[in-house]
Amino acid sequence: MLELKNIGWTASDGEEILRNISLEIPEGKMTVITGPNGGGKTSLAKLIAGLITPTEGQILLDGQDITRWDMTERARHGIGYAFQQPVKFKGLTVRDLLEISAEGALNREQVCHYLGEVGLCAEEYIDRVVDASLSGGEGKRIEIATVLARKNVKVRVFDEPEAGIDLWSFTNLIDVFQRLKNQKNEALLVISHQERILDIADKIIVVADGHVRTAGDKEVILPRLLAQDKAARCPREEERSCAG
């Protein structure tokens, strides 16, 4: 289990981005962090991955303090992270990247499996170089595939995985998450606004203005979010017509 205790983070310009965040990401469940843009969700994901270090508080993985570990150390101990904006790797092919993530050689069938999970044809992509020649959507799907290829993962973190992918691939991704969330020894954490992703969550955490606004089981939190969204889209003077 991943646990955050009283986490705070202040950016280099002195702006306080996150404050007093305490939450748990349990194994065998899918937790979705959502909330308004600029509320701190991606910063929180980066803290978990080790891209940035909290100003205060602790991050625990199975009871072990990993607060000061960098991204490499966290990855070595089981935290897989898919960037919101995929990184380009000049000179590396898609197959190279998947094998680095899997920490070993992959046969063609395995490569086809991971690429197929994100809607890519292995014949077209297996030898492609992971550079600027890839579109944003292609890079995003390859990034997700690398996280799926990771072995001995304890926490898989996906930051807005729906960004830049087509509807077919998104539907396929929903199926992938459905399978991943039932892994007994893994925790699945997704940062997303998408209702379809929220709908398959076990737990929803709403982060806004740098702190946890609310958290709980999907059955409790999602209806509230949908009601708030409807109210926001329904001007008071049109309330009667929107009610239907």
pLDDT of residue 194: 92
The two counts, helices (H) then strands (E), for the chain are: 10, 10
pLDDT of residue 238: 56
pLDDT of residue 172: 81
Along the chain (244 residues), what's the average pLDDT of each consecutive run of 10 residues? 96 94 94 94 93 96 96 92 73 90 90 88 86 81 87 90 78 86 88 94 96 96 90 63 53
CB 68 within 8 A of CB 54: no
SS3 233: helix
CA distance 139 to 132: 9
CB 150 within 8 A of CB 80: yes
* Structure tokens belonging to residue 239: 């309330």
